[in-house]
Amino acid sequence: MAAADPGWDPVEELAYLMQEAVTAEQAARVPPPRGEPTPGGDFIDPMESLAQITAQLPPPRRSSAGHRKISGRKLRLKWLRTGSFVIVALVAVIVAMVSVFGGMVAYRPLQNITSGSDHGMVPSWPLLVYGPWMVASLSILRTALHQRRAVHSWFIVLLFSSVAIMLCIAQADRTFTGIAGASLPALASLACFQQLVRQITLTLPPRQSTRRHRQ
């Protein structure tokens, strides 16, 4: 029987064997880090595979539905605004024609009112009726452009329109057709002018401020 090696320690040898066994068991349980191949086979990183699949996909298309919707809305608003301005211009021309013809019809009866006075017939006397009416009408148009109310100006227009109607009826025949023919010019001018102001108010965009001013 051979003598034991004096430098050999059985306890140290046992600890060394146990340490090797624990190291081998941990290596079998813990997987290798990403990007490093496993022993015995090729390891493919899932992130790299996902990146390759994403690179092969076609680029996403930008949706132009919202842009088309906005463009269509702007085009529609443009056509509506253009149509509104055309209608307002046409209404303004008709109002001017009706006012001129109504003034020409009512001018002669208003002149005849002063024929019985000492000064005789005064050609410019109807301007005392239609002058304030015209000034108040221009004031109403100005306030309509600024989207304000003109109560006083409307009162003046109604007052002098009533004066013109009564003076024309006083010079007309006492028949239904005579009274209707005498009152129709002033009424037609007043109705057309009111519709013109209404069209201007509808054409202009709404104001941001909610405050209302009276003239």
Mean pLDDT by 10 residues, the chain (215 residues): 55 65 60 52 58 67 62 77 86 90 84 66 78 91 87 92 89 86 90 90 68 48
Instruction: Assess contact for 210 and 146: CB atoms under 8 A.
Output: no
pLDDT at 80: 81
Q: In whole angstroms, give the CA distance from residue 153 to residue 142.
A: 11
Contact partners, residue 43, CB within 8 Å, separation at least 6: 32, 36, 37
- Provide the whole-model pTM: 0.57
pLDDT at 104: 86
pLDDT at 36: 52
Instruction: Assess contact for 153 and 166: CB atoms under 8 A.
Output: no
Tokens representing 7? Answer: 């430098």
Tokens representing 51? Answer: 């990146």
pLDDT at 187: 92
pLDDT at 154: 93
Alpha-carbon separation of residue 80 from 83, 89, 200, 204, 208 (angstroms): 5, 14, 14, 12, 21
Sorted by where each begins, the domain ranges of the chain are 82-203
DSSP string, 118-183: TT---TTTTHHHHHHHHHHHHHHHHHHHTT-B-HHHHHHHHHHHHHHHHHHHHHS-SSHHHHHHHH
pLDDT at 42: 52
pLDDT at 206: 66
Question: What's 214's DSSP letter?
Answer: B
